[in-house]
Each structure stands twice: as structure tokens, then as C-alpha cells.
Structure 1
Amino acid sequence: MKGNSPTDSSRAAYQFRVHRVLGYIDDNLAEPLELEGLAKVAAFSPFHFHRLFRALVGESLGAYIRRRRLEVAATRLITQPACSVTDIALGVGFQSVEAFSRAFKKRFISSPRYWRIENAHEGSELSKSSPAWSNPSHEEGLGGRHHGVVFPQMSESAMKVRIHTLRPASVAYLRYTGPYGRNVGKFWEEVVSPWLQENHISTRPLFGVSHDDQNITLENLCRYDACVEVPKELLLTRRPFRTILPGGRYAVLDFLGTPDEIGDAWTALLREWLPSSGLQLDHRPCFEHYPDGLKPGDAEGRFGCRICVPVVQL
């Protein structure tokens, strides 16, 4: 295993601490999220933390928290029709629906209620983690086909959607930030695949997790995690991030097709199956699951994965 220079180790330590805070913010949007508490999560002094955060993330701490609250609220307004605007506002940390409405309209040029009505027909295309739809073994990735796509009408039985209770998965992951689509496929090929091979973990289960929706989050800020399921005590090169992918109830669709076709499968699942299922999207991330690890496609470029969407009762 290659060693890291003191400079690389120090930089990685800073990145790990700030990354821990980013995860904490998303997991606790309903809480006050004040500077002192977040600095403690990062193990930095409050005096230095806000400057370090801006330097490493590119946004001030307050601006980042405000953006995440509004982006998550925008998605929940569409994907959770049974939740009231008030419940959504309180659930992302606003103290009143009036304050939420003002901030929301400033960000999206639309009131929360109008946003929900205007986007109702596209609601099932969105999720808390709008999928990047990328096959790890294909450079092309998916190419961002989920909006304006024309796809065949698919019945629930034709799609063979199953409701499974999945166990939590301990994963190591590398993060990509930027536009989804082909860039994610390039990330897998140029960064993730060599890393998996050098650590001899290419055949372990893989996951692709997208945390943002490009219709809501600026594409250069969208986050994608390429994950591999490994024991938490396993030492790996490049000091990857670690997390637990949450278990629970998921709608699972087995996909077999080309990179250009997986976008249609995601859209059909979310637009056609989900609204008639009696279920709605949960706060957990959607992901693609590759149980057999990194495998090349067949002669026609087809590959297989499981599309997993977290669900709760409507």
C-alpha cells in the first residue's frame, strides 16, 4: 500500500472533517445547526471553522445550510404529496411557514404551493437523490435522459417491481461533484475502477448514489458517491470516505439493458409505478446496486443492476 506524504495526510484530514459536517447537516436539517455545534462535529474551533468551511466547500456555512434546506424542501414538496407545506417547512428547519415561503420564493421564483402544483406531473421523476443513472463499467454513463424522455408505457407487472427490506450496507466511497450523466461514467472508469482494482475489491457489491437533482441543485454542485461494500476495518488506499447505506423498505427493479436504456427504466419506475403503488419516496437515497461488482457489459453493451427506491406508505 502506497504511503501518503504529510501534506496529503493533512489535507485528507481536513477534507474528512468537513465532509463529516456535510453529512451531519443533511441528517439534521430540522435542527438549529449553529456554528458552535457544527465546529464541534468537525473538531475545529468555531473561530477557524467558518473560514475553513468556505475555503474547502466554496460557500459560507450559512449559505450552504440555507441552500440545502431549500433544495430538500423543493424535492419533498413534489415527491411527498401527503405532507403539508407547514410540515415540510418545519422538517427542514424553518421556524414558520411564512419565513419558509419568503426564502423559497426568493430561491425558486415560485411559492411552495405553486411549485408543488406546477411540478405535480413531474413529481415521480424526482427523488431526494435524483439518480445519475450511470453504469460503472461503461464510459458513456447515461447522458442525462430523465427529462423530456420518451419511453414505452410499462405496467407494474411488466417491470416486476418488488418490495424488499434491505439490510444496511457498510461502504467505502469516492465522491464526484459536478454534472451527472456521462461525467459520472467517466468518473467510474478513470478514478473508481483503478482504485477498486488496486485494492482487489472489484468483485465486491457496488452502489451508485446521487444526492441531488439537477432541476433543483446547480449542476456543478451535484454530488455522487461511488460506493463499494467492505468491512469498516478494511484498510484501503486513497483514504475513502465511509458510511452506512441505510436499510429498510425499498422498491426494487431488476434492470438489464444498455446505458441509454437505464434512464427509461428509472423514469418508468418513478413516473408510472410509484404513483399507483400507494407508496411515496422516503428521505433515504435512491441508488443503483451492482451485486456482483465491476463487470463489463455483453456484446450488445447490456449490463445488469438493481434500481432501488426507498419507500414508505403514502
Structure 2
Amino acid sequence: MEEYKKRIVKAIQYIDDNLETELSLEKVSNIVAYSPFHFHRIFKLITGEAIQSYIIRKRIEKSAFYLAVKKNVTLKDIYLELGFSNHSTFNKTFKKYYGKSPSEFRKSAPEKFHKIQLKQSKNGQIDTVFRQYICNIENLLNWTTMNFKIKVTDFPEMNLASVMSLGIANVEPSFNVLMDWAKEKKLFPRENVKMISVYHDSFKVTPPDKVRIHACMLLNEKLKQQEGQVFPETIEAGKFIIGSAEVTLNDFEQCWVSLFLWMNENNYFMRKAFPFEIYHTNFKEHPEGKMFVDFCIPIN
């Protein structure tokens, strides 16, 4: 836990100290030794902002500071120094945060702006922010302990019948196609049938309407060839972190972030394979929309 706190604080400090440089997700995640995929999810849950949104906000706040205390520096020099490519982008983004243009802000900025900022820093403003983030981490870990049963185990090879969906909104229709096929093949209903979602894209790099998710059914025998939209897929045997919980659809993001956090806390590393979910019950059959789900991360 202490090591994880250090990494989060290190990431935030690095961003705040290097706003004038190029700051990509890959660069910051590398600084704190996390994969971009894990770091993006964890950063957003803890801070309430995507990392790029956080960086833009901090750059705008720093530009406001410069506008107030560096009256002799031109607007162009300020926005170029902080990574904005042109005046139009800078102006539009600045107005979004402060409700006025940079020029208007500079004219109305209080004379004691500089002293106010120094006073806030001396009073521990930054430390307060870090404590807030660390509190979020502790709450998340407590949520994990209360809601998850986590184990590390080996899975045998799993043979799946799969239907591809492009976009999160198309996952349910893909499952419907899969179910119709399974009923025709007399594979459903049957005892202990397992439905699975395999994530082939990251929501970090792929828009929600483009992300590729496979709607799958676990088979006893390998599907020999593609049949219409249904095609064979294999999850290779190996070691997995399994987080089991009874959750609603709204809990899925928090479940994944919690499990990745647990993985990092316990010094496991994800291998080059796709994470997936195994559904043991149907949320449509529960009065509160809950279902039992295994969240599975392949590890070395």
C-alpha cells in the first residue's frame, strides 16, 4: 500500500513539475512503472479525471498564474510554452475553465494573485490534494476487500464460440446472435452454461463505439469452423487473477480498476493476453439487476 501511494504521488508531482514538456500517458505511466492501460484506469478513478484532462486543466491553471504575474510576457509565449499549438485552441480551452478570454482574465486578475498562490502552497494545498487522492486509494482498496473474493489460479485451455461486437452498445445484440445459434445447435439451455466477454481493445485507446468485445460461450469441444457470425476462439491455459463479485452493470468499471490495483499491490504482472469476464448468473433475472461475475486478468 505504501509503495502504491508513493507511485501515485510521484505521478502527480511529475505532471505538475513538467507541464511545459510533452506529457503522454505512456511517458507518465513509465515514470511510475505501470502499463498505460492500468495507469489510465487507476488514475481516472482516483482523481476523477482522465489523465489528459488533468494535464490540460493544470496547464490552464498555470497559464492563469502566468497571465496574472508575468504581465510582460505575451499570450503567445505563454500558450506555446505550455504546449498549446495556437491562440484559438488556447483561447477556447481557457474560456471553458475561467469563463473569460485570457486577455480579459489578465486585465481582471487581482494584484495579490501571486501572494495568494504562494500562501496556498505554504499552507499545504498540494499536500491536501495528495491526501485526498490517497484517501481515494484507501477507499478503493477497502471496497475491494468488502466486495471481491480474489484468488490466483491456473485455468485450462478454454474453447469458445464467439460473436464479435464493435462498440459497447452492440455487445447485447452479439450475445443475442450467439444465443440463437446455441439454441439451434441444442447447446442452450444446458446445465452450468458459461457466457463470457473477452476484451480485445482498451477503452483508453479505442472509443467506446469502436472497442472490440467478443460475446462468447464456453464449449465442451472446440468449434471446428466459423458458422455465420459465430467463430471459434481459444483462451490459452495459464495463470489468472480471478476477482469474483455480485455486482450490477454500473459496478464493472470499478471492479476492473480495483482488480488491476490489487494486481499491482501484490506484484503480479499482466501477460500478453486479453482480460475477460465470466457470467454465472443473468442480471435480468435479479430484482436489483445484480449478477455473479468473475473478472479475469491473465498474468505471468
TM-score (norm 2): 0.51
Q: Name the stretch that deviates more: 210-219 or 232-241.
A: 232-241
| 1:198 paired residue number | 184
- Does 1:210 find its partner at 2:124? no
For 2:185 and 2:165, the matched residues in 1 are separated by 19
Q: What fraction of aligned residue pairs are identical, expressed as a percent? A: 17
Other structure's SS at 2:202 match: coil
SS of the counterpart of 1:268? helix
The answer to whether residue 151 in structure 2 is matched with residue 162 in structure 1 is: yes
> Which residue of structure 2 aligns with residue 277 of structure 1?
266
- Determine if contact 1:146/1:263 at 8 Å carries over to the other structure: no
Structure with more contact order per residue of length (Cα contacts < 8 Å, sep ≥ 6): 1
Matches of 1:186 and 1:147, distance apart in 2: 34
Q: Would the aligned equivalents of 1:286 and 1:308 in 2 still touch at CA under 8 Å? A: yes
Q: Could you report, residue by residue, the CA deviation over 1:178-215 in whole angstroms, capped at 9, with x for unpaired residues?
A: 3x2x4423443x43333333333334222100111122
What is aligned with 2:72? none
Name which of structure 1's ranges 227-236 and 207-216 shifts more when overlaid on structure 2.
Answer: 227-236
- 1:201-245 Cα shifts (integer Å, max 9, x gaps): 334222100111122134454211111122125788535211211
1:150-196 Cα deviation digits (max 9, x unpaired)? 89523464322100101110111111123x2x4423443x4333333
What one-letter code is carried by the residue in structure 2 that aligns with 1:303? Answer: M
Q: Distance in 2 between matches of 1:262 and 1:219?
A: 15
Aligned-residue offset at 1:112: 5.0
Q: Are 1:286 and 1:310, in contact at CA under 8 Å, matched by a contact in 2?
A: yes
Decide which structure has the larger Cα Rg and report it. 2
CA distance in 1, matches of 2:30, 2:265: 18
CA contact (8 A) 1:250 1:309 kept: yes
Asked if 2 retains the 8 angstrom alpha-carbon contact of 1:255 and 1:305, the reply is: yes
The two structures, once aligned, show a CA RMSD in angstroms of 3.8
Taking the aligned partners of 2:182 and 2:283, their CA distance within structure 1 comes to 12
Opposite residue 208 of structure 1, the aligned amino acid is: S
Alignment-mate amino acid for residue 254 of structure 2: D
Which residue number corresponds to residue 216 of structure 2? 227
Does structure 2 retain, via aligned residues, the 8 Å contact 1:199–1:237? no
The CA distance in 2 between the partners of 1:266 and 1:164, in whole Å, is 18
Give unmatched runs, 5+ long, in structure 2.
1-6, 8-21, 50-135
* Corresponding residue pairs, total: 185
Task: Pick one of 211, 236, 241 that aligns with 2:231.
Answer: 241
